[in-house]
Amino acid sequence: MVTTTVPVRPVAAGRAASAAARPTADVLRELDVPGGGLSSDEAARRLKRWGPNAVHSHRARAWLVLWHQLRSPLLGLLLAAAIVSYFVGERSDAVIIGVIVVLSAGLGFANEYRAEKTAQALHAKIRHRAVVLRDGRPQEVEVTGLVPGDVVELRLGDIVPADLRLLQATGLECSESVLTGESLPVAKDTAPVPAGTALADLSGCALMGTVVHCGSGRGVVVATGAEAEFGKIAAGLSGHQLETEFQVGLRRFSMLLVYVAGALTTLIFIINVALHKPLIDALLFSLAIAVGITPQLLPAVVSTSLAAGSRRMSRRKVLVKRLVCIEDLGDVDVLFTDKTGTLTLGRIDFMRAVPIDVTSAEEVLRFGLLCTETEVDDQGRPVGGNPLDDALWDSPAAASQRRVLSGWRRVGVLPFDHERRMVTVTVTDPSDVTMLITKGAPETVLERCADVPEPVRQALDAEFAAGNRVVAVATRPARAATAPTAADECDLRLAGLLVFLDPPKPHVAEALGRLDRLGLTVKIVTGDNPAVAAKVCHDLGLADIGVLTGTDLDAMDDERLSDAIRHTTVFARVSPEHKARIVRVQRQTGGDVAFLGDGVNDALALHAADVGISVDSATDVAKDAADVILLEKDLGVLADGVAEGRRIFANTIKYVLMGTSSNFGNMFSAAGASLFLPFLPMLPSQILLNNLLYDTSQLAIPTDEVDEEQVHRPAHWDIAFIRRFMVCFGPISSLFDFVTFAVMLWVFHAGPVQFHTGWFVESLATQTLVIFAIRTRRIPFWRSRPSLPLTLTALGVVALGAALPATSLADVLGFQLLPAGFFAAVAAMVVVYLLLVEIGKRIFYRAARAPARPQPALGHRHMRRRAARFSTVTRPRRPRAIRRPSADTPHTGGATGSRQSEAPRTSSR
């Protein structure tokens, strides 16, 4: 699968290329690596010298967040105009404008920085580990803790954690598309390559960020962090993350505001200049109008919503790699999920060994224990084994076999892959007799066995019908003590069956019901037997269970598959390519798709989905491909995440709809008033203060309650809908503004100061209190109650605005006391205004159309996702240019005394 277009380039000067051109013994000698790997103390010393194995930092940077607040060109122009006004004598206005801009930026900074800190804390909880040989035994360590000289084990599905010079390779192939753009995997071996070999031809190295496509291997780390080839490319990427659908919607909405603000600002400035009003006042007023129509705190509202949502989700054991992924999670219509650990407990228990013919149950168990591709620790247990191997070794029956196994020796391994669906080993028994053992999916193992009795097939069908997982074990004599090949997996004798139990979770039926009420369709995609998967789904109450197998999918084109997906609940015995195809075809129907998986065979589908979901115990390649990580593999937890995403989106849209409609109405009123008033309808500082108070009251929107109907269906950005809402409700706001103008001029005969004060109070009241009508499609307060914080802040801001003319700040702000009768008129206008909005709301929503569903572009999605796993909260180091020895230059000394020990430092991006 082609994921990037990074060109192949010569890297003869790179550490990997230099190591690949030399024999492994020379590389180990230069790095001063003993036979048992580095000691923990030596690894700690090297980590201190070379720094963490990271190319990025996920540390929250205060200066970067502050720059996001200050980079608005409107704010820059406003500050520039304020400085000019200060030097031309309008010092009080300039100071007031400066203070308001600082407060607005400070408020946004505080909320966004808090959200960044939340994201940093969430990122720190996601762990990526590698199996290394340290202190003479295999152990798991953090990927960021690897150092040059570490000896690393590679298995199927691993993401290579650093640039490695291979020491062993058994059928090893790596997918290097993230580096070279080539979709086909590359075969690996341990032979040196010629000096100057290009990146794509370094067969003796496994490169950071690439994926083990099949086979296994062992290699020594020669470069970490930004010194690795992947690190050099990833460090050169822009720090800008890939946009999600939610961010695309925000950007499009912002462009809409830019066009509206630009048109109004230009028009108002021209009108005021044409009417011979002071130039500086006209400039400040038009810029203030532009700032006023822009929801300045929209990023803060969004960040506050996402940060609050992520904290709630974290308490529910859901971690998001990026906060905005919460919004996308709420858009999901269809969820494809695996079976094991999702519908079932995932705590696989070994039940029994079923022998065939003369084989005993103890022999079948012994063969199953011996047939594993992972390294074993000093207790003889596999390190980082698969769940079935772990269940077998943890069973009481295995304890009696460990003493017997000590006399057996594993000679070679042919690792598991998803085409063969088997693992094969050659072993020698205590009498030095060599035997080949194969363990895997019963269908594929039985195909390679001779003379399988019919009762065995019947017993196997009975186990599947009972919902049990079964692994077949077969043997035959081996001709020599060598590593097996796929050609050796023939003419086998079936030794027996290993039966495992993975029962359904007790509360998963309830979780499936919740997802159904949220409008999510759940479908099962599994490599397990179709009878087992269907039995589990039936026990959980899933109705209309249609079943398709991988063989069925191969016989369908995409059009037939699209139709079949609608009527199918279980897809069984499917390959990784099948899973990705199912997701891709489902996406073409227009719905948003999530995929939940935790294995290497799920990575393609995770990448293909709109939202990839994995678990903390998943394989590295699955966690790398996922957007959301579940600390607990529970559909109930996932339902919480979907509902939370929809709540956040609903609350964000409340602010957007209210801000665009009321702000547009108020600014349109200001433009109209400029035509007939001999003075500015409101001072620039008053417009900014009005906008600041109004936005401050809306910071409580993330705490608001959301109507159930908004949670029970996905929601999407619809700029056309927002534009129609603005055009519909903006004039209603303007209508009451013009009524206020009439009352101030013809009833109270107001002068400029009183007029400014009256419109300030009325506009703040109407645009703040309208949130109670806009926040719901129901009747407010009666059928939909706002949250207490939102109610208190809205009423508090309105009260503050009404009280400001009576305070000592009135003269500074350009206010004066208003007559009591005006407040009675304002109260009546607010009530009528809200009633009119309620009537307009019912008419508007009755005619509203469903939004279109945009398809997000992937861009460098794979590269950025993979780079995220090589990150720390500390500052990574950037390599500095140094002269490297050529391939034929003698190398002497160990790592602590050679040029290699003077590794370049890397710095943060």
Active-site positions?
A: 338
Helix (H) or strand (E) holding 845: helix 820-846
Q: Are 151 and 219 in contact (CB under 8 A)?
A: yes
CA 511 to chain centre: 23
- Pick from 217, 157, 219: which is nearest to 483 by CA? 217
CA dist 466 and 462 (Å) reads: 6
Of the chain, the end-to-end C-alpha distance in Å amounts to 29
Question: 131 Cβ partners below 8 Å, 6+ apart?
Answer: 138, 139, 140, 152, 153, 155, 375, 383, 384
CA dist 444 and 814 (Å) reads: 85
CA dist 491 and 120 (Å) reads: 55
Structural tokens at position 329: 């999670």
DSSP tag of 873: S
E-strand spans in 490-578?
Answer: 493-501, 521-525, 547-549, 570-572
Structural tokens at position 106: 């400070």
Q: Report the 3 state secondary structure along 768-788.
A: HHCHHHHCCCCCECCCECCCH
Q: Which residues of 770-790 are buried (b: 16+ CB within 10 A; e: fewer)?
A: bbbbbbbbeebeeebebbeeb
- In this structure, how many other beta carbons lie within 10 angstroms of the beta carbon of residue 332? 27
Structural tokens at position 486: 């796929």
Q: How many residues in the chain? A: 909
What φ, ψ does residue 544 adopt, rounded to 5°?
A: 50, 55
DSSP tag of 125: T
Q: What is the dihedral of CA 99, 102, 108, 109, to 10 degrees?
A: -140
- In this structure, how many other beta carbons lie within 10 angstroms of the beta carbon of residue 144? 23
E-strand spans in 362-491?
Answer: 409-414, 422-428, 434-440, 469-477
Q: What is the dihedral of CA 162, 166, 168, 173, to 10 degrees?
A: 80
Structural tokens at position 77: 């122009």
Burial bucket for residue 45 (CB in 10 Å: 0-12, 13-18, 19+)? middle
- Pick from 705, 329, 651, 721: which is nearest to 518 by CA? 329
What ranges in 677-718 are assigned the alpha helix state H?
684-698, 708-711
CA dist 476 and 494 (Å) reads: 9
DSSP string, 279-321: HHHHHHHHHHHHHHHS-TTHHHHHHHHHHHHHHHHHHTTEEES
Helix (H) or strand (E) holding 836: helix 820-846
Structural tokens at position 233: 């490319």
C-alpha dist (Å) from residue 257 to 287, 355, 660, 685 = 14, 73, 8, 21
DSSP tag of 227: G
